[in-house]
């Protein structure tokens, strides 16, 4: 379990809590941001046009495959690895083929 440290941030949290409890309008000028946070219609319109941008990396798959740790004979593993990149996918295809052809029984 990681240890957490409390570093001083310089934020006056008591003042923040007091101001939040007052529910006073937020001071806003045109240079502060794209919309007035006190105007519910402007806030709603801004978030209606917002979109989610996909981050870097591999796209999400429709069905996530579970992670599996499996022991196989070294010669079998070497044979699949020798086929190059994608050997794990080829192992999956070989296992799927065995299941579909009824070679796997209980």
pLDDT digits (tens, 9 = 90+) for 38-89: 888 989 999 999 888 888 888 888 888 889 999 999 999 999 999 999 999 9
Q: Is 26 helix (H, G, I), strand (E, B) or coil?
A: coil
Q: Per residue in 7-37, pLDDT tens? A: 778 888 898 888 888 877 888 887 888 888 8
Cβ neighbour number for residue 60 with a 10 Å cutoff: 7
Give the pLDDT score at 1. 56
Rg, C-alpha atoms of the chain: 28
Query: What value does the mean pLDDT of the chain take?
Result: 87
- Domain boundaries in the chain? 13-48, 68-106
Share of the chain above pLDDT 90, in %: 39
For the entire predicted model, the pTM comes to: 0.43
Dihedral, CA of residue 26, residue 32, residue 38 and residue 43, to nearest 10: -140
Question: Residue 42: exposed, middle, or buried by beta-carbon count in 10 A (0-12, 13-18, 19+)?
Answer: middle
Q: How far is CA 82 from CA 39, 72, 73, 85, 102, in A?
A: 63, 15, 14, 9, 27
| pLDDT at position 82 | 96
Per-residue confidence at 96, pLDDT binned at 50, 70, 90? very high
Q: Which 8-state DSSP code applies to residue 46?
A: H
């Amino acid at each position: 379990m990681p240890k957490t440290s409390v570093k001083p941030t310089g934020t006056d949290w008591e003042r923040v809590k007091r101001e939040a409890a007052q529910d006073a309008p937020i001071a806003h000028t045109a240079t502060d941001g794209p919309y007035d946070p006190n105007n519910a219609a402007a806030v709603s319109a801004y978030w209606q046009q917002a979109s989610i941008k996909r981050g870097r990396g591999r796209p999400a798959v429709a069905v996530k495959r579970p992670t599996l740790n499996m022991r196989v004979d070294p010669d079998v593993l070497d044979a699949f690895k020798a086929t190059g990149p994608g050997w794990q996918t080829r192992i999956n295809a070989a296992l799927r083929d065995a299941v579909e052809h009824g070679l796997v029984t209980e």
